[in-house]
Amino acid sequence: MSVADLEKPSVERARATSFYEASARARIRLLLDPGSFVEFIGPEQREVSPHLKLFDLPEQFDDGIIVGHGQLAGSPVFIAAQEGRFMGGAFGEVHGAKLTGLLRAAKEMKSIPVLILLDTGGVRLQEANAGELAIAEIMRAVIEARTAGVKVIGLIGGRSGCYGGGGLIAGCCSALAVSEQGRIAVSGPEVIETNRGVEEFDSRDRALVWRTMGGKHRRLIGGAELFADDTVQAFREAALELLETTSGFGIDTLNAEQSRLEDRLQRFGACRDAVEIWAAEGVPDAASVPALPADQFIELADKLRRIARDAR
Amino acid sequence: MRNWQQGRQARDARIEAGAKLAKGKIVEARDATRLMEAVIRPGDRVCLEGDNQKQADLLCRALLAVDLAKVNGLHMVQSGIVLPEHLDLFDRGVAKRLDYAYSGPQSARIARMLFGGKIELGAVHTYLELFARYFIDLTPQVALIAAVSADRDGNLYTGPNTEDTPTVVEATAFKNGVVIAQVNEIVDKVPRVDIPADRVQFVVEADKPFFVEPLFTRDPGAITEGQILTAMLAIKAIYAPYGVQRLNHGIGFSTAAIELLLPTCGERLGLKGKVASHFALNPHPALIPAIESGWVEQIHCFGSEVGMDDYIRARSDVFFTGPDGSLRSNRAFCQTAGLYACDMFIGSTLQIDLRGNSSTVTTSRIAGFGGAPNMGADARGRRHPSTPWLQAGREADPDGSALLRRGRKLVVQIGETFGEKNAPLFVEKLDALALAEKLKLDLAPVMIYGDDVTHIVTEEGVANLLLCRDANEREQAIRGVAGYTDVGRNRDKKMVQHLRERGVIRRPEDLGIDPLDADRSMLAARSIKDLVRWSGGLYAPPSQFRNW
Amino acid sequence: MEDLSFHHQARSRAGGTRQMAIIGVVASGNLEVLAERVLPETECRLEIKTAAEGFGEVWDAVVADFVERYSPGGLKFSINDGGARPDTVSLRLAQAVRLMAEDEQ
């Protein structure tokens, strides 16, 4: 049997499996080459949160994040995946340290890229200080890894979206792929509503939430480089493409990113709603964007513009 | 000499008093409270249209604001207690006595008010019962109804959610009552006449459309593996062997799972065209994949569902639609259809006792009955035969004379052994009994009586109660599918094993089902977006169900 | 939180050669089961940490049925439970045994 034959059932499964619905472990299993994943600090080591038992809350053996290495189309990668269903994928002390450690290992190795499957509501309330520190450490570790020449790719399409510190980490990555279900922001809908009032943002208006924070919007305004259909296979292909196309990192990149963001603010700062931004971006029938099937949307987004590769 | 026209004269006087506020039949929304004060008399029987779907909310608020010196002590006769204002009427003293059928969202407050004596309760009915009483002893003097539009003569278009309106108007208008309609808009010509103008005395144009809630939308994304397993069991153990073509589904997630398994699991079993082809049912979005795959011949609806209008319009081969193209629903007719023309009801409940009695009442909530007892009851007046009906009758009475034997409607309770917050589905004593004792009711509010139930489906298996020959067998058959609830753990293991050997209880493995295969990938749609895709973009789900 | 522990004799050794498997997630109404092949071939042990207190008898019944049905000899199961229903517990345990019987990836 050839290698291609061996891979076939896995590809079919990856194509049939919703990234949004899959567990973090299933995402890793189907995203990487079959059987190639090796976990660091696996569940059998029971490296659980030291804080949750103080709150009489259940622990998870992997503290809600899986880290390890494997192969993607035959090349080595580091990979981390958050489990968005355990405490909303939130960052705690151990959870954060596992990701920091992985990124530092990548920095040492210099040449092996990192895939981060973000699925998080932000920092875990029960270990807020440790969680906030973890976010800062991870952001630093991402930048240091990138400085050392490592590509750090964020893949976002899980149940908990990518909020709070997760949104900050996503902003530090070399490149992002996002699906329609994926949401990227710092403050979540409920937080905005609580602080600014329902007139500013109605968190129960899910169409509003998605067109403000959802994957399609992020792709159209350049917040994410690629839009992926909601299958594990689509995310695998997106990761491969981003690894191929993402360029290096230095002061020029940051300057380019700065001017990209300034330009964005200038062009869309006065818009009241995402639909206005899409129209200003030249989308012919802007209101129809949320209903567009993935393939048609990707075609549209690609036609509008490929994101400048020198930024980020 | 006796005056035989008192009712008519009283009605004319009410209309005359109201007419002072009207231009023709049209009354401004700001005058709605004054209209109530002019037309309604203390102690009147009033039907304030509160359906499952559409609510005469403006007229309700207008009634709530009346001068209590002019209007008080009303006897409300309405199917649904749905809006908080429906109960505010009693808190304020506008109304005193209540006869109703369903109180879903207000179930906790209505229980408190009954217990506190704020409401004098006549009875809790099924829809058909209450409608029947509109024509016998609960005929309204005034009906406050809701429609989509009216013309200047007062012809009404009730839109896809016609629901109770024709029944309420029939009883009121033809027995000296006054009908007041709130409409979303007044138009030159209504799309179709659902209620003729001569049955409507006053029309109020509302400032915003009447309130409608998406009650029948179940997000496929929330269907669990356990629900998929129970759905697979039901299809294999009931739909297939009885060949059930004419049926009604409840609104729970297990039946939504069945709807979504028909085009996948059902197709593989070769059941297409043989089962689930004719429904008495609200237009469930979860049924779209089965409709699109050619399973469903026709559906008659109690009411409509938010977001389904364009889809229904485009599938008039399946749905009942008017000359204007929109759905025509009718709760009274659809309930009758469910009672007499369906061979099966399948739905969920909150509690089942050892005799199979079921109830959605808990000690702190009175949700009412709605239509389930009519769907989930054998129609004793039924005379036409059908294969499933005869087969169920034969199973219940194998030794009886075939020509004299009654058939049986299949009444199936489906659910997981533990429900929300790990509350057991099976109990020794229904909470409904404690409630009846507390409120000193003559009858415990039982949704479906045990002697009407034919099958119980849980993740542990299917119990066919038709095959039980005595109360003890019945009890053990129920315990035998009650899982790890107290009721289930207290089973007589030997007897349950014996019942399994006889086919009274069937486990997943007896039906060739591996519980580990119950997987969400079997659902024809796994998200609301998938349903939109299946509908070719015709289904427009409300915002709270979107994640795009 | 409540800790529960069960020890059973199994009829036979659990199938497969896999040393470890994990299934499920700790969430409301859900649980994770970590299975490890670390015991003598006819022994089976379950260590449970559950958020739902006072259900020891139900766990006892679920575990007894599970051992009877799947004979998971040699396996130790460590469970973190977010308050799952018994049918979910049964399903996860069965899934864990099925994973252990599959070949190592």
pLDDT digits (tens, 9 = 90+) for B120-162: 999 999 999 999 999 999 999 999 999 999 999 999 999 999 9
Confidence at residue B52, expressed as pLDDT on a 0 to 100 scale: 82
- Smallest Cα distance from C33 to chain A, Å: 10
Name which of A18, A21, A206 is nearest B547 (Cβ-Cβ).
A206
Band of residue B185 on the pLDDT scale cut at 50, 70, 90: very high
Closest C-alpha to B125, from B374, B352, B430: B374
Residues of chain A with Cβ-Cβ distance to C51 below 8 Å are 57-58
Name the residue range of residue A75's domain: 3-249+289-304
- Smallest Cα distance from B230 to chain C, Å: 12
The number of residues in chain C equals 105
Which other chains touch chain A, taking contact as 3+ CB pairs less than 8 Å apart?
A: B, C
Residues of chain C with Cβ-Cβ distance to B225 below 8 Å are 91
Which other chains touch chain C, taking contact as 3+ CB pairs less than 8 Å apart?
A: A, B
Residue A254 lies in a domain: no
Q: Which residue of B has its CA nearest to C65?
A: B484
Beta-carbon contacts of B102 under 8 Å, excluding residues fewer than 6 positions away, are B52, B79, B80, B81, B82, B127, B367, B368, B369, B370
Helix axes B165-173 and B127-134, enclosed angle (nearest 10): 20
Confidence at residue A1, expressed as pLDDT on a 0 to 100 scale: 39
- Smallest Cα distance from B311 to chain A, Å: 16
B414-432 pLDDT, tens per residue? 999 998 888 999 999 999 9
ipTM entry = 0.95
Give which of C65, C87, C99 to mutate to test B binding, by max B Cβ within 10 Å. C87
Number of structural domains found in chain A: 1
Alpha carbon distance A165, A123 (integer Å): 6
User: Between residues 512 and 541 of chain B, which touch chain A (CB distance below 8 Å)?
Assistant: 520-521, 526, 529, 532-533, 537
Q: Over 70: is that where the pLDDT of B485 sits?
A: yes
Given an 8 Å threshold on Cβ–Cβ distance, is C91 in contact with B416? no
Confidence at residue A2, expressed as pLDDT on a 0 to 100 scale: 42
Instruction: Decide if B350 contacts B448 (C-beta within 8 A).
Output: no
Alpha carbon distance A172, A144 (integer Å): 10
Band of residue C105 on the pLDDT scale cut at 50, 70, 90: very low
Given an 8 Å threshold on Cβ–Cβ distance, is B516 in contact with C62? no
- Smallest Cα distance from A148 to chain C, Å: 33
Residues of chain C with Cβ-Cβ distance to A25 below 8 Å are 22
Beta-carbon contacts of A106 under 8 Å, excluding residues fewer than 6 positions away, are A78, A112, A113, A114, A145, A148, A150, A152
Confidence at residue C103, expressed as pLDDT on a 0 to 100 scale: 66
Q: Which residue of A has its CA nearest to B223?
A: A21
Long-range contact pairs involving A102-109 (C-beta distance under 8 Å, separation at least 24): A102/A40, A102/A67, A102/A78, A103/A138, A103/A141, A103/A142, A103/A144, A103/A145, A103/A152, A104/A141, A104/A144, A104/A145, A105/A78, A106/A78, A106/A145, A106/A148, A106/A150, A106/A152, A107/A141, A107/A144, A107/A145, A107/A148, A107/A150, A109/A150
Q: Taking the domains of chain C in order of start, what are their residue ranges?
A: 2-14+31-101
- Smallest Cα distance from B420 to chain A, Å: 18
Residues of chain C with Cβ-Cβ distance to A46 below 8 Å are 78
**Which amino acid type is present at position B125?**
H
Alpha carbon distance B448, B207 (integer Å): 41
Which two tokens mark B171?
């009883």
Confidence at residue B267, expressed as pLDDT on a 0 to 100 scale: 97
Residues of chain B with Cβ-Cβ distance to A232 below 8 Å are none
Q: What torsion do the CA atoms of A33, C38, C98, A37 make, to the nearest 10 degrees?
A: -10
Alpha carbon distance B372, B73 (integer Å): 31
Name which of B226, B489, B516 is nearest C87 (Cβ-Cβ).
B226
Residues of chain A with Cβ-Cβ distance to B541 below 8 Å are none
Confidence at residue C104, expressed as pLDDT on a 0 to 100 scale: 56
Torsion A194-A195-A197-A203 (CA) sign: negative
- Whether the CB of A26 is below 8 Å from some CB of chain B: the reply is no
Give which of A30, A179, A206 to mutate to test B binding, by max B Cβ within 10 Å. A206
Burial class, A250, CB count within 10 angstroms (exposed 0-12 / middle 13-18 / buried 19+): exposed
Residues of chain B with Cβ-Cβ distance to C62 below 8 Å are 484
B262-286 pLDDT, tens per residue? 999 999 999 999 999 999 999 999 9
Q: Over 60: is that where the pLDDT of A7 sits?
A: no
Give which of A12, A15, A17, A18 to mutate to test B binding, by max B Cβ within 10 Å. A18
A23-45 pLDDT, tens per residue? 999 999 999 999 999 999 999 99
Q: Over 70: is that where the pLDDT of B217 sits?
A: yes
Residue A215 lies in a domain: yes
Name which of B521, B526, B548 is nearest A210 (Cβ-Cβ).
B548
Lowest mean pLDDT among B288-302, B365-379, B447-461, C5-19: B365-379
Alpha carbon distance C74, C21 (integer Å): 13
- Smallest Cα distance from A161 to chain B, Å: 11
User: Which residue in the block uniquely carries the two structure tokens 């939180």?
Assistant: C1
A57-74 pLDDT, tens per residue? 999 999 999 999 999 999
Closest C-alpha to A66, from A86, A51, A80, A47: A80
Residues of chain B with Cβ-Cβ distance to A181 below 8 Å are 547-548
Closest C-alpha to C92, from C46, C53, C52: C46
Q: Which residue of C has its CA nearest to B224?
A: C88
Given an 8 Å threshold on Cβ–Cβ distance, is C87 in contact with B418? yes
Given an 8 Å threshold on Cβ–Cβ distance, is C61 in contact with B484? yes
Residue A269 lies in a domain: no
Q: Over 80: is that where the pLDDT of A312 sits?
A: no
User: Which residue in the block uniquely carries the two structure tokens 């486990």?
Assistant: B507
Confidence at residue B360, expressed as pLDDT on a 0 to 100 scale: 85
Alpha carbon distance B284, B276 (integer Å): 14
Beta-carbon contacts of A305 under 8 Å, excluding residues fewer than 6 positions away, are none
- Give A181-250 as a 3 state SS string: CCEECCCCHHHHHHHHCCCCCCCCCHHHHHHHHEHHHHHHCCCCCEEECCCHHHHHHHHHHHHHHCCCCC
Angle formed at CA B127 by CA B124 and CA B129, multiple of 5 degrees:
70
Helix (H, G, I), strand (E, B) or coil at A84: coil
Instruction: Decide if B210 contacts B160 (C-beta within 8 A).
Output: no
Beta-carbon contacts of B306 under 8 Å, excluding residues fewer than 6 positions away, are B212, B213, B214, B217, B541, B542
Which two tokens mark B126?
């099924």
- Please provide the average confidence, as pLDDT, over all residues in chain B: 96
Residues of chain B with Cβ-Cβ distance to C58 below 8 Å are 484, 489
Alpha carbon distance B73, C78 (integer Å): 64
Name which of B526, B533, B548 is nearest A180 (Cβ-Cβ).
B548
Alpha carbon distance B17, B8 (integer Å): 14
Band of residue B53 on the pLDDT scale cut at 50, 70, 90: confident
Q: Which helix (H) or strand (E) element contains residue A68?
A: strand A65-72
DSSP string, B456-519: EEETTEEEEGGG--SHHHHHHHHHTT-TTSHHHHT--HHHHHHHHHTTSEE-GGGGT--GGG--
Residue A273 lies in a domain: no
User: Which residue in the block uniquely carries the two structure tokens 């009519």?
Assistant: B374
Residues of chain A with Cβ-Cβ distance to C30 below 8 Å are 85
- Mean pLDDT across B90-102: 97
Of the two residues B52 and B317, the one the predictor is more confident about is B317
Residue A23 lies in a domain: yes
- Whether the CB of B546 is below 8 Å from some CB of chain A: the reply is yes
- Whether the CB of B548 is below 8 Å from some CB of chain A: the reply is yes
- Please provide the average confidence, as pLDDT, over all residues in chain A: 93
- Smallest Cα distance from B365 to chain A, Å: 26
A184-221 pLDDT, tens per residue? 999 999 999 999 999 999 999 999 999 999 999 999 99
Band of residue A294 on the pLDDT scale cut at 50, 70, 90: very high
Confidence at residue A4, expressed as pLDDT on a 0 to 100 scale: 47
Q: Which residues pair with B461 in a beta bridge?
A: B458
Residue A282 lies in a domain: no
- Whether the CB of A290 is below 8 Å from some CB of chain B: the reply is yes
- What percent of chain B shows pLDDT beyond 70? 100
Given an 8 Å threshold on Cβ–Cβ distance, is C58 in contact with B489? yes
Burial class, A139, CB count within 10 angstroms (exposed 0-12 / middle 13-18 / buried 19+): middle
CATH code of the domain covering residue A36: 3.90.226.10
Closest C-alpha to A167, from A143, A139, A146, A141: A139
CA distances from B18 to B38, B73, B76 (A): 5, 20, 20
Residue A64 lies in a domain: yes
Q: How many CB atoms lie within 10 A of CB B422?
A: 15
Given an 8 Å threshold on Cβ–Cβ distance, is B544 in contact with A204? yes
